[in-house]
Amino acid sequence: MSVLVGKQAPTFTAKAVQGENIIDSFSLEQYLGNKYVVLFFYPKDFTFVCPTELHRFQDELAEFEARNVAVVGCSTDSEFSHWAWLNTPKNQGGIQGVTYPIVADINKTISEAYDVLAGEEMIDDEGNIAVEGELVAYRGLFLIDLEGKVRHQVVNDMPLGRSIQECLRIIDALQHFEEHGEVCPMDWQKGEDAMTADHQGVSDYLGNK
């Protein structure tokens, strides 16, 4: 698994769906210098854990927007599958009401660039391309800063849903560091004391506990 933290986020241009609209050329470059990005991958449309995550991102969208963060979903399904899922009511397993863009990684190149693609392509003894497992995305999540650099990543296996609250906590920590130059200790929450990256800062922090 590649560690992308500290590196520029891989760029791409792909089809995406947002609301009722299919976008022919969607790119994260539109956010450079303007918005942070949470790019999250999920395995498949029309499944079980996935809609709980997509709906939860929608439920908390105002929290992301208040932090100047764009939320972008991505799976290896086609734009037509995304469009159909977005037009299926929630009580029928759909994600109707989700308003953030969902990227169609039908060629698997985006998932591969972010190293979240499950399964493996290989050449068999007869020279044919074979696949072991399914070529779908794990539950990867990447926080990208205003300069297009990855500052946080987490990858879950298929059965394991993510924590939106932890995602928001990490955003708060990054933005606190950027604004104040203070580092954030374990389980730090917005509004709590942080520390400077030196012995005095640690002593002051521990002394306040």
Q: Which residues are catalytic?
A: 50
Tokens 């539109």 label which residue? 30
**Secondary structure letter of residue 11 according to DSSP:** P
Query: Residue 39: beta bridge partners?
Result: 72, 142
* CA–CA dist 95, 53 (Å, integer): 10
Q: Which DSSP helix (H) or strand (E) runs through 80?
A: helix 79-86
Main-chain dihedrals φ then ψ at residue 126, nearest 5 degrees: -100, 5
Task: Name the CA dihedral angle for 142, 60, 158, 2, rounded to a multiple of 10 degrees.
Answer: 10
* CA–CA dist 153, 39 (Å, integer): 10
Q: List the one residue out of 172, 179, 112, 144 whose CA is nearest residue 31.
A: 144
Query: Residue 154: beta bridge partners?
Result: 141
* CA–CA dist 132, 124 (Å, integer): 11
Total count of residues recorded for the chain: 209
